[in-house]
Structure 1
Amino acid sequence: MSNRVVETMARAVFKRGPVLVTELYSSAGMPPRRFDSAEVFCAHARALQTLSGGMLLVGVQYPDMGGGVRVRPFEPGRGESGRFSVAGWGLISILLPMAADANCVAKVHALTERAALDRERGALDVPPVCDWNWRAVESHKRRLKDVLRKAL
């Protein structure tokens, strides 16, 4: 992923501030990183370019989206220690492959209200689906998808 694409996405994310931008999965033994500016976002993305399989996976929430986000323990694999995940029904996820060998494609994603309602019954420790402003979620998701599509 080129630095130009990352910079374009970072500017688009922070254009409508204030905004919560956080890693969706933390590094072992660390809380999820929170990004408070496009510059910090880009600096972290550049650091991931040197890691094998490096990819940037963040969650984005704007105030008008409402809803609640929870940080919770992530089930560790063998030999892993304390990782955390960030979850929320309307949270917009942005995935950017940073390393040349990253095995993923760039995308912007968020659940629809219907999909969230279908999954809500079995979920634990996540604030309710009805707390989200789904029109705002869809609007921000669509805007960020358009920015990514044009940047690629």
Structure 2
Amino acid sequence: MAAAIFAKPGAAVAQAYSQMERETLYFRSPAELCAYAARLEAEGAGEVFLAVHYPDMAGHFAPRRIALDPAKCGGLTYRYVCEGWGVIRVYLRLSSGKGLASHVSANSQKRAEKWQPLYPDFGQTDAWDWAAVGRHERRLIRVLKQAVAHDAAAGGSA
């Protein structure tokens, strides 16, 4: 899956949510992303949650600092989130993970237009090339389905 994410030139790949009170991590290669996933799994994490953007999608892609309630977060006050109307979200359950299955998703143009008045910080929906968003999303979904089918045929659990 990491190779597919980086298969198109100019991929911007980042943590969807940073660690609390840490900068967002960006990944520049499949090897770097795989090493990160392996480290998370070794630390007991069950998933990797990414935000992916390709240049032809246009739109705005940058982490935004969000405030946390210190009373509910052990005194921690902020973290970063990568948001945007057309940002592709890639959720990969690690082999030790439980719960949600791996998946790829992005907003549709129609959904983004419906919600745009409530999230003006995301900018205008027409800044995105929705055909490109859909193309990349479908490509990543196909690769994920193939990987899941291959893993199941090999006796793994995806």
Q: Which residue, out of 98, 115, 124, partners 2:111?
A: 115
Distance 1:12 1:101 in 2: 22
**Structure 1 residues 82-106: Cα deviation after superposition (integer angstroms, max 9, x where no partner):** 2111101000000001251432210
Gaps of 5+ in 1: 1-8
Distance 1:76 1:19 in 2: 29
**Equivalent pairs: percent with the same residue?**
30
Shifted more, 47-56 versus 58-67: the winner is: 47-56
Shift of 1:55: 1.1
In the alignment, is residue 35 of structure 1 matched against residue 27 of structure 2? yes
Shift of 1:111: 0.5
* Matching residue of 1:18: 10
Please, what TM-score do these two structures have when normalized by structure 2? 0.85
* Matching residue of 2:133: 137
Contact 1:69 1:127 in 2 (8 A): no
Aligned AA (1:144) = L
Contact 1:59 1:93 in 2 (8 A): yes
Contact 2:47 2:97 in 1 (8 A): no
Distance 2:33 2:97 in 1: 21
Shift of 1:70: 3.5
Distance 2:92 2:54 in 1: 20
RMSD between superposed Cα atoms in Å? 1.4
Aligned AA (2:111) = A
Q: Which residues of 2 match residues 1-150 of structure 1 at below 5 A?
A: 9-77=1-69, 78=72, 79=74, 80-98=76-94, 100-150=96-146
Contact 2:67 2:77 in 1 (8 A): no
Greater relative CO, 1 or 2 (CA 8 Å, sep 6+): 1
Please, what TM-score do these two structures have when normalized by structure 1? 0.88
**Structure 1 residues 100-149: Cα deviation after superposition (integer angstroms, max 9, x where no partner):** 14322100000000000011101132221100000000001000000000
Which portions of structure 1, spanning 4 or more consecutive aligned residues, are displaced by more than 4 angstroms?
none
Aligned AA (1:142) = R
**Structure 1 residues 14-44: Cα deviation after superposition (integer angstroms, max 9, x where no partner):** 1111111011100011111000111100000
Count of matched residue positions in the alignment of Structure 1 and Structure 2? 144
